[in-house]
Chain A
Amino acid sequence: MSAGTTKLDVTVADVVPVNELVTRFHFRPTNGGHLPTFSGGAHVVVEMREHEGATPRLNPYSLMSSPLNTAEYTISVRRDDVGRGGSLFMHRQVKPGDRMVISYPVNLFSLDLRAKKHLMIAGGIGITPFMAQTAQLASSSGNFELHYACRTASLFTYGDVLAERYGKRIHLYHDDRGEKIELARLLASQPLGTHLYICGPAPMIDWVRNTAAASGWPSETVHYEHFSAPKPGLPFDVTLAVSDKKIRVGEQQSLLEAIEAAGVDPPYLCRGGVCGQCETNVISSDGKFLHNDHWLSEEEHRSGKKIMPCVSRFEGRSLVLER
């Protein structure tokens, strides 16, 4: 597929269960040598094939290894039992020695290197990009502080690792013990020139962004990563007007994957509704859009003229796209 980024052939070097929900995967270049250098916050798109020749499912995962280590990349995947099966595939089928294809790293959640201080807020599996960013900053004497909330101690993915690596710069909050990030006070006590980074569930991102805005933080200093994995849903039919094809989007398939399976390659980078690359014009529709992206404005969502096929779906009688 030509539409995304350059591809890398990798071999699974190790599969490490981290806790009951999260498993870590180590990738090394199949042909030896080194992987490309990357910057903290970057993700790769992993191609998952059920069998040789099958249409791949493509999911983005943040790189969590140190950017200083190009011998291997690591990602951590949280099992989602009600998702489309990407994470289940990774957990159940991927074994050491398997060969896989991943994209070159792409960074849509970059550190602002002008910052005098980097204040990071993580929730759950949203910790992964911060694993790489803290490693990058620690190696260059960067000033950072991480506040990380999780449901229980047993699910505190890498909480212990971070605390051991960085000591007082790491603050852990257990939901089941009633521990809460005192956000308003935290934001009010930051030195001038601090940048704020958020990665976690959508309600957490909204909460931190709204609190920061209300406390007068300039929007240029607030950064967030908001990948939503494509959600499963009812099957629906689509007409691709430019390529003159009719396709059916399966229950566990994204619209983008169905378009690709029909041999049409729209551009993409994140496959998570944030980068804007696969934005597609709607020629006509009769039904209801299920917009799940963070790219289009609310107005564009209401207009029914555009859709992001990587994460959004449709329910109704007919949908004609300019593809």
Chain B
Amino acid sequence: MGIQFRTETFRDDFTFRNSPEHIRRFPFPFHEDSYMYAVNIEPHVPGPKGSVLENLIDVDEHYVSEMADRALVLAEDPLRCQSLPHMTLAGWDLLELLMTEQAKGYPEHFTLTRDGDNWHWINRPLGIDQKFVFGDLSTLPYGPMEYITRQSQGDFCILDQRDGNLWMDAGIVTTQADWSLDFDIGMNFFEWHAPVPLAHEKGVFTRALKFLLNIQQGQPARRLNWTMTINPRLDTSPENFHKWGPDRTTVTPENVGQKVHLRVELQSFWRLPRSNAMVFPIRCYLIKMDELATSKKWARRLHRVLRDLPEELATYKGLTRYRPTVVEWLAKHDDGAPTSSGFGPD
């Protein structure tokens, strides 16, 4: 029967919400009652049925509406999608990866047929039926990276590997937590992570880079990152700060449950076969505080994590202004009981 795709918005009237089934599969990022940076990377292998990890590229009920929101962002600002000239081969690699994984995980929605270089792609939710020649740019309406990432949830950064470093040389970024591809394009791993506090001192990036450089074909890895967003807005970019920045002043004790969202990024890391580049899909999941509080464990734990978060991290994540209001709201859901270890709801 497949996924029931929701029709909803991530701007203006903000009709986004999660169905009860989707609340239960939310990738809650805290395995204990406190949070600090760590190199929390693990192998990206399929997880339990019904979780966001069931398939290595996850498609969910927000797919159709997220793709519509991406198209709006790109129409306003084409620089959200860029690929330096040497990255076209990596774009074909990514197209193969996403078509293959989506067709494998969701055969009722996507079909890929390959006859040598003659490929036939059917995307039923978006009503696309495309025959093209793999490797031939003239047979697709966009470049290969843009073509497939207009049909895939999450942002995608493609990194060239050379000189013992990774270089942000291509990507599509429309659902980001306040960073800009246009600003970071061409930077290396240390350059684009320069603003992150505390982690450099802990040597986190040196170790993370060493790990990433050695990720091999057939062995992808993943990690979770998180922040918070006011209103379910996917596009919280620096370019549009004037649109979403003021939202942060609108949080009141009465509207926390509907307005404040935990924003979790499932980042995965893949070696691409033809180009030897890497792709980092950054998939954003949003959940309202009202939805999150339907799990007693999650509400208790998030209360403790937010309350005890070091000030530098709260500042970096942009939480300073509304953190006290949210902590106060969550405190009402924290009876002081112990929380079980691990990520899942009770």
Given the interface pairs A39-B273, A39-B276, A67-B274, the reply to whether A5 lies near B161 with Cβ below 8 Å is: no
Return the contact of A220 from the options B87, B89, B162 (Cβ within 8 A): B162
Q: Given A67-B274, A113-B275, are A38 and B217 also a contact pair (CB < 8 Å)? A: yes
Q: For the complex formed, measure the closest distance between the CB of A229 and the CB atoms of chain B, giving whole angstroms.
A: 21
Name B145-171 residues within 8 Å CB distance of A.
Answer: 160-163
Query: Which residues from 103 to 117 on chain A have a C-beta closer than 8 Å to any C-beta of chain B?
Result: 104-107, 110-114
Within 8 A of B (CB), among A87-140: 104-107, 110-114, 136, 140
* A37 contacts chain B at the CB level, 8 A cutoff: yes
A12: Cβ under 8 A from any B Cβ = no
B276 adjacent to A110 (CB under 8 Å): yes
Task: Chain A residues near B216: list those with CB within 8 A.
Answer: 5-6, 104, 106, 269
A21 located at the interface, meaning its Cβ lies under 8 Å from any Cβ of chain B in the complex: no
A275 in contact with B214 (CB, 8 Å): yes
Identify which of A6, A39, A67, A107 gathers the most chain B CB atoms within 10 Å of its CB.
Answer: A39
Complex Cα spacing A105 to B219, Å: 11
A112 touches B162 (CB 8 A): yes
State whether B219 touches A113 (Cβ < 8 A): no
Q: Are B89 and A140 in contact (CB under 8 A)?
A: yes
Residues of chain B within 8 A of A275, CB atoms compared: 214
**Of listed B85, B87, B274, residue having the most chain A CB within 10 A:** B274
CB–CB A105/B217 < 8 A: yes
B217 with A104: CB separation less than 8 A: yes
Which A residues are in CB contact (< 8 Å) with B87? 113
Instruction: Please name all residues of chain A whose beta carbon is closer than 8 Å to the beta carbon of B214 when the two chains form the complex.
Output: 269, 275, 277
Chain B residues positioned under 8 Å from A136 (CB to CB) = 274
- Please determine whether A110 and B273 come into contact, CB atoms closer than 8 angstroms: no
Whether A113 contacts B160 by the Cβ 8 Å rule is yes
User: Do A36 and B86 touch across chains, with their CB atoms under 8 A apart?
Assistant: no
Across-interface contacts of A104 in B (CB, < 8 A): 216-219
B219 touches A5 (CB 8 A): yes
- Residues of B near A67 (CB, < 8 A) are 274
**Given A37-B273, A107-B276, A113:B89 Cβ within 8 A:** yes
**Complex-state Cα separation, A107 to B215, whole angstroms:** 11
Q: Which residues of chain B come closer than 8 Å to A5, judged between CB atoms?
A: 216-219
Q: Tell whether A36 pairs with B162 under 8 Å between CB atoms, given A113-B89, A113-B275.
A: no
Name, among A113, A114, A136, A140, the residue most crowded by chain B CB atoms within 10 Å (CB to CB).
A113
Given A113-B89, A275-B214, A6-B273 contact (CB < 8 Å):
no
Question: Which residues on B sit within 8 Å (CB–CB) of A6?
Answer: 216-219
Q: Give Cα distance in the complex from A264 to B274, angstroms.
A: 33
How far does the alpha carbon of A104 sit from the alpha carbon of B86 in the complex, in Å? 25
Chain A residues lying within 8 Å of B163, measured Cβ to Cβ, are 220
| Interface contact B162-A110, CB-CB below 8 Å | yes
Task: Select from chain B the residue with minimum beta-carbon distance to A107.
Answer: B276
B57 to chain A, nearest CB (A): 17
Name B88-102 residues within 8 Å CB distance of A. Answer: 89, 93, 96
Interface residues of A in 204-238 (CB under 8 A from B): 220
In the complex, what residues of A have CB within 8 A of residue B160's CB? 113-114
Min CB gap B210→A, angstroms: 8
Q: How far is A223 from B87 in the complex, measured between Cα atoms in Å?
A: 19
Instruction: Map CB proximity to B onto A121-165 as digits: 1 under 8 Å, 0 otherwise.
Output: 000000000000000100010000000000000000000000000
* A39 touching B275 in the complex, CB below 8 Å, given contacts A110-B162, A112-B162, A220-B163: yes
Contacts of A36 in B (CB 8 A): 217-218, 273
Interface string of B248-291 (1 = CB under 8 A from A): 00000000000000000000000001111000000000000000
Q: How far is the CA of A38 from the CA of B89 in the complex (A)?
A: 12
Task: Kindly provide the distance from the CB of A7 to the nearest chain B CB, expressed in whole angstroms.
Answer: 9
A186 CB to nearest B CB, Å: 23
A159-203: which residues lie under 8 A (CB-CB) from chain B?
Answer: none
The smallest beta-carbon distance between B279 and chain A, in angstroms, is 14
- B86's partner among A37, A39, A105, A113 (CB-CB below 8 A) is A113
Q: B217-246 vs A: 1/0 string, CB under 8 Å?
A: 111000000000000000000000000000
A269 → B minimal CB distance (Å):
7
A114 touches B86 (CB 8 A): yes
**In the bound complex, CA of A107 to CA of B89 (Å):** 16
A5 to B162 alpha-carbon distance, docked (Å): 21
> Are A39 and B274 neighbours in the complex by a CB distance under 8 Å?
yes
A106 to B86, CA, bound (A): 21
Distance in angstroms from A24 CB to nearest chain B CB is 23
Provide 5 A-B residue pairs closer than 8 Å at the C-beta atoms, listed in order of the A residue. Answer: A39-B274, A39-B276, A104-B218, A111-B276, A113-B89
11 extra interchain contacts, Cβ-Cβ under 8 A, other than A37-B273, A41-B276, A220-B162?
Answer: A5-B217, A6-B218, A36-B273, A38-B273, A42-B276, A105-B217, A107-B276, A114-B85, A114-B86, A140-B89, A275-B214
Closest 9 CB pairs of A and B: A37-B273, A6-B218, A113-B86, A110-B276, A39-B276, A114-B86, A104-B218, A107-B276, A5-B216
